[in-house]
């Protein structure tokens, strides 16, 4: 659940720090006070889109931090993505500066927007005030059914299988239309691959043969230089360096016994003697390995020439020849596979069969889920002043598509004795809002998301229906945290926790604030919602009655 929310310099918010509890919490206030700013700020912290426009005028940056208690799924996600800490909470932070640059953090560690959104989906489920409008779209109806039934992964599998199948079908169609061009391209690739295969370039070979060529072509000079150095260090008849340095170290060692001030000099010269001896060993080893080899030099020169000439022919650098060989070979294999029309058709049928298996499995699950959702929403409609109303989820067969083998359409009958018809054609604004709320509550009950947010989803209803809505949300709050932005006193009075959103002008700037209400303040706020600007004893009495209920 959401434990706390800290907002700094966001739209018209200067600084707000909220401590939130479990159960059902409402946010109320005058129209235009900024009730939905809370939802917008939280959405930003959960990885939503944001730009410089969210930064309060005159501020350098907007900063939103949300702390959540951890559920098992979120805790597992943190471990899998290496964001875990030793606390039983997770901290999400989002910063956007006035140039539009955005940064996101999970437990203080920089994170991508995608990572924050993935985690956010495990923590919060937001139902916006315009959710009912999306219900008029068949694609949104299909996603809602799949989501409520836990079929999103199955739907993704169907979509993936469809894309693979159709991609191969398109490849086969293109081949049939361009068979002659494909044949010419295959012949060109075969010639190029054969030439490179004969050359057999290896990764890093160009650098290696150039080094070997340089060494072989300068072998005489290398041998002479190494021998001359070895002679000077240890083999000269006329006082070699190593012998002189050994004598000096012995003499200086005796002198250092007399005067310790010479000890630092001795400490420098003794390692020098050891290093010269090591140089002698290394030079002897080098001279034992290097030799003049004219035949090998000619071989290497020929290889360098062949690599260079082939690279020019293929318009690449010599060092890229092995990579070019791999690329052209891969193209030839792909073209060879694609040019076998019978094999291509057989593979296409195989992929279609895979798609049909997945799609039919999804269709069967959708049919079962459609009955369950229809019955649940129909039952909820009876409590929302739509007695006798009925809700159905129709599955209409269609041509194979990425979404499956059927179109999903929501049908509704507003009262008894009428046939269900498409939602977009028969539902009034109020009916649509009530059906949307019923679906939202039912869909939320089917998920394990610990925090649910309803942003004015109760618009378009009132009276007794509003009281039923309040009861639904409070009952939902028994199992998880429910946050609701509302303008209805019947809903607000049902809350376990009540915040009031207000705004005021300070130094010519509009500032929004959110304050928790005690029992007396709740009476005043409910009375305001009931009676408007002028609060009377009667409205206060009515407010107390609503709260008592």
pLDDT digits 0-9 by tens, 219-235:
767 776 777 787 788 87
pLDDT, tens digit, for every residue of 83-123? 988 788 999 999 999 999 999 999 999 999 889 999 988 88
Rounded distance between C-alpha atoms, residue 224 and residue 219, angstroms: 9
Which of 486, 409, 407, 426 shows the shortest CA–CA distance to 453? 486
Buried b (16+ CB within 10 A) or exposed e, 435-447: bbbbbbbbbbeee
As a whole number of Å, the end-to-end CA separation of the chain is: 27
* Res 428 pLDDT > 90: no
Instruction: Report residue 91 CA to chain centroid gap.
Output: 17
Which residue bears the tokens 């607000």?
Answer: 492
Largest CA distance in the chain: 124
% helix / strand / coil in the chain, to the nearest 5? 60, 20, 20
Query: For 446-465, how does the pLDDT look when each residue is reduced to its tens digit (9 = 90+)?
Result: 666 788 888 776 666 777 77
Q: What percent of the chain has pLDDT over 70?
A: 91
Q: Is the pLDDT of residue 168 over 60?
A: yes
Q: How does pLDDT run across 69-91, given as a tens digit for each residue?
A: 988 888 889 999 989 887 889 99
Q: State the chain's mean pLDDT as an integer.
A: 85
Helix H or strand E encompassing 17: strand 13-19
pLDDT band at 166 (very low <50, low <70, confident <90, very high): very high
pLDDT in tens, 359-407: 999 999 999 999 999 998 888 888 777 788 889 999 999 999 999 999 9
Beta sheet of 124-127, edge-to-edge order: 109-111, 102-106, 89-97, 61-69, 2-10, 13-19, 509-516, 497-506, 24-29, 481-485, 451-455, 124-127
Provide the pLDDT confidence category of residue 131 given band limits of 50, 70 and 90: low
**Alpha-carbon dihedral sign for residues 432, 494, 456, 482:** negative
Say yes or no to pLDDT of 273 above 80: yes
Please tell me the predicted confidence (pLDDT) of residue 533. 66
Q: Is 250 exposed, middle or buried (0-12, 13-18, 19+ CB in 10 A)?
A: exposed
> What is the number of other CB atoms lying within 10 angstroms of the CB of residue 76?
13
Helix axes 341-383, 321-338, angle to 10 degrees: 80
CA-CA distances (angstroms) from residue 178 to 171, 185, 343, 487? 10, 11, 17, 64
- Pairwise pLDDT comparison (399 vs 241), residue with the higher score: 399
* Of residues 166, 169, 161, the one with CA closest to residue 362: 161
- Mean pLDDT within 295-309: 84
Interacting residues of 261 by C-beta distance below 8 A, sequence separation 6+? none
Predicted pLDDT at 503 = 84
Res. 531: pLDDT tops 70? yes
pLDDT at 396: 94
Domain ranges of the chain: 1-125+479-516, 205-332, 518-549
Task: Decide if pLDDT at 180 tops 70.
Answer: no
| Residue range 13-43, pLDDT digits in tens | 888 999 999 999 999 988 776 777 888 899 9
Which residues touch 254 (CB under 8 Å, ≥6 apart)? none
Q: Residue 523: what pLDDT?
A: 92
What pLDDT shows up at residue 128? 66
What mean pLDDT do residues 285-290 have? 75
Q: Residue 186's pLDDT is what?
A: 82
Q: Calculate mean pLDDT across residues 241-253.
A: 85
Query: Which parts of 178-262 fold into alpha helices (H)?
Result: 179-199, 205-217, 219-230, 241-258
Q: Comparing C-alpha atoms, which of 184, 180, 199, 185 is closest to residue 314?
A: 199
When mean pLDDT is compared across 63-72, 375-384, 427-436, 477-486, the lowest value belongs to 427-436
Residue 513 has pLDDT above 90, yes or no: no
Percent above pLDDT 90 for the chain: 31
**With bands split at pLDDT 50, 70 and 90, how would you rate the model's confidence at 61?**
very high
**541 in Cβ contact with 525 (< 8 Å):** no
- Domain 1-125+479-516: CATH architecture, name and number where available: 3-Layer(aba) Sandwich (3.40)
Cβ 64 vs Cβ 10: under 8 Å: yes
Query: With contact defined as beta carbons under 8 Å apart, do 110 and 104 qualify?
Result: yes
pLDDT at residue 133, rounded to an integer: 61
Query: Would you state the structure tokens that stand for residue 345, as one six-digit string?
Result: 């058709």
Among residues 456, 523, 464, the alpha carbon closest in space to that of 486 is found at: 456
* 452's tokens: 């649910």
Which pLDDT does position 68 carry in this prediction? 94
Query: CA 80 to CA 119: how far, in whole Å?
Result: 11
């Amino acid at each position: 659940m959401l434990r706390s929310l800290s907002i700094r310099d966001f739209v018209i918010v200067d600084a707000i720090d909220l401590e939130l509890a479990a159960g059902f919490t409402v946010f109320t206030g005058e129209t235009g006070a900024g009730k939905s700013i809370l939802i917008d700020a939280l959405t930003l912290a959960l990885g939503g889109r944001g730009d410089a426009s969210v930064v309060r005028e005159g501020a350098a940056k907007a900063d939103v931090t949300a702390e959540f208690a951890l559920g098992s799924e979120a805790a597992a996600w943190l471990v899998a993505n290496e964001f875990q800490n030793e606390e039983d909470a997770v901290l999400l932070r989002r910063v956007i500066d006035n140039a539009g640059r955005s940064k996101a953090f999970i437990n203080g560690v920089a994170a991508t927007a995608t990572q924050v959104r993935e985690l956010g989906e495990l923590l919060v489920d937001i139902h916006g005030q315009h959710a009912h409008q999306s219900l008029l779209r068949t694609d949104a109806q299909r996603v809602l059914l799949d989501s409520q039934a836990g079929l999103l992964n199955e739907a993704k599998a169907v979509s993936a299988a469809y894309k693979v199948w159709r991609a191969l079908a398109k490849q086969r169609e293109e081949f049939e239309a361009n068979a002659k061009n494909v044949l010419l391209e295959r012949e060109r690739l075969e010639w190029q691959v054969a030439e490179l295969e004969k050359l057999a370039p290896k990764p890093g070979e160009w650098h290696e043969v150039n080094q070997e060529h340089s060494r072989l072509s300068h072998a005489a000079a290398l041998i002479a230089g190494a021998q001359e150095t070895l002679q000077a260090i240890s083999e000269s008849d006329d006082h070699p360096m190593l012998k002189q340095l050994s004598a000096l170290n012995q003499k200086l060692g005796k002198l250092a016994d007399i005067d310790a001030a010479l000890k630092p000099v001795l400490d420098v010269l003794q390692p020098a003697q050891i290093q010269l001896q090591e140089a002698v060993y290394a030079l002897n080893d080098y001279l034992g390995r290097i030799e003049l080899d004219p035949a090998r030099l000619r071989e290497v020169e020929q290889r360098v020439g062949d690599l260079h000439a082939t690279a020019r022919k293929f318009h690449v650098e010599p060092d890229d020849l092995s990579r070019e060989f791999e690329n052209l070979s891969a193209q030839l294999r792909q073209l060879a596979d694609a040019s076998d029309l019978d094999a291509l058709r057989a593979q296409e049928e195989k992929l279609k069969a895979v798609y049909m298996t997945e799609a039919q499995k999804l269709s069967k699950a959708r049919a079962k889920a459609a009955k369950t959702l229809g019955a649940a929403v129909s039952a909820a409609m009876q409590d929302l002043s739509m007695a006798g109303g009925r809700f159905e989820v129709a599955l209409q067969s269609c041509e194979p598509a990425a979404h499956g083998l059927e179109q999903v359409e929501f049908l509704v009958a507003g009262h008894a004795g009428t046939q269900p018809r498409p939602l977009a054609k028969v539902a009034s604004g109020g009916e649509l809002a009530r059906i949307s709320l019923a679906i939202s509550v039912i869909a939320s009950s089917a998920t394990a998301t610990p925090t649910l947010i309803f942003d004015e989803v109760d618009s378009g209803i009132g009276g007794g229906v509003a009281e039923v809505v309040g009861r639904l949300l409070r009952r939902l709050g028994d199992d998880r945290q429910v946050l609701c932005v509302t303008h209805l006193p019947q809903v607000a009075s049902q809350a376990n926790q009540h915040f009031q959103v207000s705004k005021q002008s300070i130094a010519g700037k509009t500032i929004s604030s959110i304050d928790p209400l005690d029992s007396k303040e709740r009476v005043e706020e409910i009375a305001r919602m009931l009676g408007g600007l002028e609060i009377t004893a009667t409205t206060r009495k009515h407010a107390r009655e609503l709260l008592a209920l």
